[in-house]
Each structure stands twice: as structure tokens, then as C-alpha cells.
């Protein structure tokens, strides 16, 4: 194990493991959020459970740590990667060999981070530190304001693009990939990214659209 995490592959392993953890978290998060559409009561109950359950209480610190590590290591790797090419190409045509999102994971990640701050302030912070009587009202009320919905939908687009590369990339990094699995993982990753981004985006749209007409 010596020096594993100071090696390039070790650092990427950290990105991969934290990333996969966040991938699982997003699934859980989405399934709770979808309750918004179906039942106010169920959502409030789930929300209350999440806020009070001791296991979840511990988990939220682990989750925070997951985010922080993922972001810190991404920053470290990005700085190293930039230093590896001190003189840039004056004419470069990378669109011919790779996808935009795969080349801009840090940019996408940064945009998602901004979104995350807004999101935390809007809901998590308010629910946690101020007296919110009805979580459902808070969320749906926010989504009925068009610019908040827009911010959320944009955030989910960035998230979808990020995940589309992230998913198979995480498996590639831990070595669970070969010629056949690479293709499968790419397809699963794309489906996952679409489910997450559209799944989340449906919710603000669900509340916003009736407001518009």
C-alpha cells in the first residue's frame, strides 16, 4: 500500500471511489425527490426521516467528506495536468478525438459546485438552521419561481454531462473495464446520466409549468 495515494493512479482511484459513492447518493436523492411529485405527505416524512435518523446523521458527514475529497483531489489533479503542458498548442482540434464533456470535467464540476452552493443554501441550510414547518412547501415554492427552476435545470444539464463521462471513467480507473465492458459501461453510464438529469429536472418543471399557464 506504500505511497499508493501519492501515485497518479492512486489519486485517480480516490476520484473514482468518491465519484461512485456520489453516484449512489444521487440515486437515493433522486428517489426521495420524486416523492414530491406523488405525495406531499410521503415527501415530508422522508425529509423528516433524513433530518433526524442517526445513521443518516453520520452519513451526511461522510457525504460531505466525499464531496470535499472529490473536489480537492480534482483540483490537485487538474493543477498537475495543466503543469504537464506548459506551452499550449496554438492550433488544437481535440473535438476530433474526444467528447467535450470528457475534456471539461473540471469546468463542469465547478459549475455543479456553484449550483451545489445555491442548492444547499436554498434547502439544506434553511431546513437545518431555520424553522421550516413544511419542507414540501419550501421546495415546491422555490420551484415555482422561474429563475430558481432555470438554475436547477441548468445544474442538472451540467450534472448529466459530468456523469456521462464520470460513470465509465470511474470503472476504467479501478480497472473494471475491457473492450466489451467499456462499451457496456458507456451505455449504462449514459442511461444513468439521463435518468439522473431528467429525473431531477422533471421536478422543478412539474411545479413551474402550471405556474406559467
Partner 1 sequence: MNITLKIWRQKNAKAKGQFVEYPLSDVSPEMSFLEMLDALNNKLVKEGTDPVAFDNDCREGICGMCSLYINGRAHGQETRTTTCELHMRVFKDGETISIEPWRSKAFPVVKDLIVDRNAFDKIIQAGGFISVNTGSASDSNSIPVSKAKADDAFDSASCIGCGACVATCKNSSAMLFVSAKVSQLANFPQGQVEAAKRAKNMVAKMDELGFGNCTNTGACEVECPKGISIKNIAKLNREYLSAKLSD
Cell output for 151: 438554475
Q: Does 8 bind partner 1 (CB under 8 A)?
A: yes
Q: Does 83 bind partner 1 (CB under 8 A)?
A: yes
Nearer residue to partner 1 within complex by CB, 6 or 130: 6
Q: Does 187 bind partner 1 (CB under 8 A)?
A: no
Is there a contact between 163 and 199 (Cβ–Cβ < 8 Å)? no
Nearer residue to partner 1 within complex by CB, 89 or 213: 89
Count Cβ atoms below 10 Å from residue 110 Cβ, excluding itself. Answer: 16
For partner 1, what does the binding mask look like between residues 34 and 73, x meaning CB under 8 A?
A: ----------------------------------------
Q: Does 188 bind partner 1 (CB under 8 A)?
A: no
Q: Does 88 bind partner 1 (CB under 8 A)?
A: yes
- Long-range contacts from 102-110, C-beta under 8 angstroms, 24+ separation: 102/165, 102/169, 105/74, 105/162, 105/165, 105/166, 106/74, 106/75, 106/78, 108/158, 108/161, 108/162, 109/71, 109/74, 109/162
Is there a contact between 22 and 70 (Cβ–Cβ < 8 Å)? yes
Q: Which stretch binds partner 1 (CB under 8 A): 64-72, 137-145, 164-172, 190-198?
A: 164-172
Q: Which of 70, 169, 201, 203 binds partner 1 (CB under 8 A)?
A: 169
Contacts of 200 (CB under 8 A, 6+ apart): 30, 33, 152, 156, 159
> Which parts of this chain interact with partner 1 (CB under 8 A)?
1-4, 7-13, 77, 80-81, 83-94, 96-99, 102-103, 105, 165, 168-169, 172-179, 182
Amino acid at each position: 500500500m506504500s505511497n499508493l495515494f501519492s501515485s497518479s493512479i492512486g489519486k485517480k482511484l480516490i476520484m473514482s471511489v468518491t465519484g461512485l459513492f456520489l453516484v449512489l447518493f444521487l440515486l437515493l436523492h433522486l428517489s426521495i425527490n420524486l416523492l414530491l411529485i406523488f405525495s406531499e405527505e410521503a415527501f415530508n416524512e422522508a425529509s423528516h426521516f433524513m433530518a433526524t435518523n442517526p445513521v443518516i446523521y453520520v452519513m451526511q458527514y461522510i457525504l460531505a467528506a466525499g464531496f470535499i475529497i472529490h473536489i480537492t483531489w480534482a483540483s490537485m489533479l487538474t493543477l498537475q495536468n495543466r503543469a504537464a503542458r506548459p506551452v499550449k498548442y496554438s492550433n488544437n482540434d481535440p473535438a476530433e478525438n474526444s467528447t467535450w464533456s470528457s475534456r471539461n470535467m473540471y469546468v463542469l464540476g465547478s459549475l455543479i459546485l456553484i449550483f451545489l452552493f445555491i442548492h444547499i443554501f436554498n434547502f439544506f441550510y434553511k431546513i437545518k438552521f431555520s424553522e421550516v414547518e413544511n419542507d414540501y412547501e419550501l421546495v415546491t415554492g422555490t420551484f415555482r419561481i422561474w429563475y430558481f427552476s432555470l438554475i436547477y435545470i441548468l445544474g442538472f444539464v451540467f450534472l448529466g454531462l459530468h456523469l456521462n463521462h464520470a460513470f465509465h471513467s470511474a470503472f476504467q480507473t479501478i480497472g473494471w473495464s475491457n473492450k466489451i465492458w467499456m462499451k457496456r459501461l458507456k451505455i449504462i453510464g449514459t442511461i444513468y446520466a439521463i435518468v439522473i438529469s431528467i429525473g431531477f429536472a422533471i421536478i422543478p418543471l412539474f411545479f413551474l409549468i402550471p405556474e406559467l399557464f
